Amino acid sequence: MNEIAILIADDEALERRALTKIIQEMNISGLELYEAENGRAVLDTIQQRKIHILLLDIKMPGLDGINTARQIRLLSPGTRIIFVTAFSEFDYAREAIRLGVEEYLVKPVSREVVQSTLNTLIQQILQQEGEENSGTLAENLLQQEVEAALGREELTNDTLDTYLRLRQFQWKRRYVLSVVHDCEKRGNDLNKVRILFKKNFNAQHTLVLAGIHEARCSLHAVIFFIKDVTGEEIQQELAHCLEDVRVNLGIQIYCVVMEWKQGEIQSMLQNIQNYRSLVNSVFPVLILTSEIQTAFENPRGKIAKVIEYLKQHLAQDVSLEEAARVVGLSPFHVSHLFKTYQGETFVQVYTRLRIETAKQLLKDGHYSIKEICGMLGFKEQAYFTRVFKKREGISPAMFQKQYMK
């Protein structure tokens, strides 16, 4: 290993300087030393570079040390955490144990204790990384490639089979999942969901691969089981996983699941997207059976399929003809189905979906009205404003202003 990266996190600059001096005295080969004054800065640093050891204060403004440690356990499980704090309360120590913190040092802490603790951890890290061989490295690199391709819907069966042979993994059942959430989450939040989602499955009995689809702001996953599992068992596993994500991250997610018996993984991923609109807070997990897929081909199912396609192409200005090709019907037939079963025309439904998405983006406050126009396929801001005001009774700017109040 060429370097040891240590991060000192404390809201007091004097404390950070004192620890920095103690560590620099150790003359650690390849030392890279970083500082952070609060929990948010710690998480930003962890996401930008690999940190081997974190010296973390508990009482910091904003995101405190305990909650920061919880996030790090998701983002960077390999980071060794040392609490360095002036608080010796039992509750803090108990939580530190639960989070798997390496040491709990109470201020004022001596130079000898800090250096001895760091030397022990550094030796453990060197030994662990020294035991990693080139085969393990190749396996990790291939897994990253597989999961990235999975997220982009570009993974091939051949690439996946190569990875499974390298892992020498034998499976009996496999399932493809699409993970949906109830709001627009940025990449950082989705990555937290991905990590926690994977950690919920027993590594001895399953292999989980999960990748982020940036355009849809969602996850694709494949789960391999080494033993036979029932639909009820999968339902329970996923329900527990969804609850864990909700409790720890405050994000509500839903899953569409399909057993992968044969065929290309890319076709499976594309097919499963047709059913995303069927999951919600009432039915958070949908395990697709042949009966459900057959039912989805009825008129209401075809409408749901078109609506899901529209949701995924809000910026492309989808025509009635293009939507009709999605379900293999004529434009006239699709138009008739919308009027009969939706009580709205195709254009009215498409406009409603765009405006509902615009409202969410306006509430988020991350984009200007002009940017939202482009994201939703409106070529002119004036036209977007007229359409929005016609549906909502107020302009986009006034809607955002009222919400921000």
- Give the CATH number, domain containing residue 373: 1.10.10.60
- What is the structure's pLDDT at 225? 92
- Give the CATH number, domain containing residue 148: 3.30.70.270
Q: Please give the residue range of the domain that contains residue 231.
A: 134-294
Question: Do residues 19 and 141 both lie within one domain?
Answer: no
Instruction: To the nearest 10°, report the CA torsion of 302, 303, 308, 312.
Output: 100
Question: Do residues 103 and 232 both lie within one domain?
Answer: no
Question: Do residues 13 and 158 both lie within one domain?
Answer: no
Question: Do residues 243 and 304 both lie within one domain?
Answer: no
Question: Do residues 254 and 318 both lie within one domain?
Answer: no
Answer with the one of 294, 322, 356 that is the final residue of a domain.
294
Answer with the one of 260, 294, 328 that is the final residue of a domain.
294
Instruction: To the nearest 10°, report the CA torsion of 314, 315, 318, 322.
Output: -90
Question: Do residues 114 and 239 both lie within one domain?
Answer: no
pLDDT at 133 over 50: no
Question: Do residues 164 and 263 both lie within one domain?
Answer: yes
Residue-wise pLDDT tens digits, 65-113: 888 988 887 788 889 999 988 876 666 666 777 777 888 888 888 999 9
Quick one: the chain helix, strand, coil %, rounded to 5? 55, 15, 30
Number of domains forming the structure of the chain: 3
Question: Do residues 285 and 304 both lie within one domain?
Answer: no
> Residue 133: helix, strand or coil by DSSP?
coil
Question: Do residues 260 and 335 both lie within one domain?
Answer: no
Answer with the one of 294, 312, 331 that is the final residue of a domain.
294
Question: Do residues 36 and 72 both lie within one domain?
Answer: yes
Question: Do residues 57 and 165 both lie within one domain?
Answer: no
Q: CA-to-CA distance for 258 and 221, rounded, in angstroms? A: 11
Nearest-Å Rg of the Cα atoms of the chain is 25
Beta strands in 215-323 (DSSP E): 218-225, 253-259, 285-288
Question: Do residues 318 and 375 both lie within one domain?
Answer: yes
Highest mean pLDDT among 22-26, 95-99, 249-253: 22-26
Q: CA-to-CA distance for 308 and 318, rounded, in angstroms? A: 12
pTM: 0.51
Residue-wise pLDDT tens digits, 194-209: 888 887 776 668 899 9
